[in-house]
Amino acid sequence: MEAGPVNGRRGAGPWLLLLPAALVMLIAFALPVGMLLARAFTHPEPGLQNFILLWERPVYLHVLVNTVMIAAAATPVTLILAYPVAHAMAHGSPRTRRLLTFLVLIPFWTSLLVRSFATVILLQRRGPLNTLLVNIGVIDAPLPLIYNLTGVLLGAVQTLLPFVIFPLYSSMRRIDPTLMPAALTMGASPVRAFLRVYLPLSLPGLMTGATLVFISMLGYFVIPALLGGPRQTMVGQLIQDQVGQLGSWGVAGALSFVLLAVTAGLLGLLHRLVGLKAVAR
């Protein structure tokens, strides 16, 4: 890294270009988030009582554990579905790639709320999915697909898929496609060749995708509110209740603190494992 301008003409210019964005982020992002987190230690009175409350009240602890469990359940499902799609995009024909990219980009550009609402309709007791399953004779009576864990997972995985498919695809594209045939000619079975050659090479993309899925899911709010039941309450909903209805800034701050600490910890871990460049893409 060169310190300072290399050729004299670049002086304060770059700093001035950076300043407005940095100021907006400092004043309208870092400061407000800091204020919320500070409330954890100051509201209603200085001390750690909000954190003690989180630990002692079963409701809070239950929701925190629940949030981690739901995110932990959604992550592998998303990865398993995303992997073959990314693989087909990376090594399939150009036509396959174009079609799949288009299919993945559609939900990427459509708002989370619209997609969640669409899933609400799809999964109703007498909704299209249940009707279809009953009509083709897979099931006798409509399944409870919504306002429970199934609903949350079906909704969440759908919204999370693009966030895994794209990083996976970009890491798979860099894998030499002749490696697999080479392993096969050397006598490895397809499964063994995949496990020993391909999977390890795609691991950075897989880990990046897994982390992104897990941390975005931890902060989910719309999906559990629309597709889950009371037992699927997640920490985001709890924060909204504390701020919006109850005005308990302290508890909201403490919950946010825990959520952010877990997020930062996971990102730090990912950084150590695969490097920040892969994370920032």
Partner 1 sequence: MGRWRLLRALVCALVGIYLVAPLVVVLIISFSSASFLRFPPPGYSLRWYENLVRDPAWMDAVWVSIQILVPTALLSTALGTAAALALIRGRLPGAGFVGAALMAPLVVPSIITSAGLYIAYRGLGLNGTLAGMVIGHVVVTLPCVIATVGSALRSLDPRLEAAAATLGATPAAAFRRITLPLLAPAVLSSMLFAAVLSFDELIVSLFVGSARLRTVPVQMWSNIRGDFDPTVAAIASLCFLVALIALALEALLRRRNGDRE
- Return the exposure string of 12-42: e unless at least 16 CB atoms fall within 10 Å of the residue's CB, then b: eeeeeeeeeeeeeeeeeeeeeeeebbebbbe
How many Å apart are CA 41 and CA 126, to the nearest integer? 48
Shortest Cβ 143–partner 1 spacing (Å): 16
Residue closer to partner 1, measured from CB, 87 or 173: 87
Residue closer to partner 1, measured from CB, 3 or 141: 3
CA distance readout (Å), 130 to 81, 115, 141, 154, 156:
22, 18, 8, 14, 19
Rg (alpha carbons) of the chain, rounded to whole number: 23
68 neighbors 217 (Cβ within 8 angstroms): no
Shortest Cβ 115–partner 1 spacing (Å): 6
Indicate the residue type of 156: A
199 neighbors 180 (Cβ within 8 angstroms): no
Shortest Cβ 62–partner 1 spacing (Å): 18
Residue closer to partner 1, measured from CB, 107 or 229: 107
Shortest Cβ 47–partner 1 spacing (Å): 19
Shortest Cβ 205–partner 1 spacing (Å): 17
- Return the exposure string of 118-132: e unless at least 16 CB atoms fall within 10 Å of the residue's CB, then b: ebbebbbeebebbee
Residue closer to partner 1, measured from CB, 175 or 267: 267
Neighbours of 194 (CB within 10 A): 16
Shortest Cβ 87–partner 1 spacing (Å): 6
Q: Which two tokens stand for residue 147?
A: 């306002």
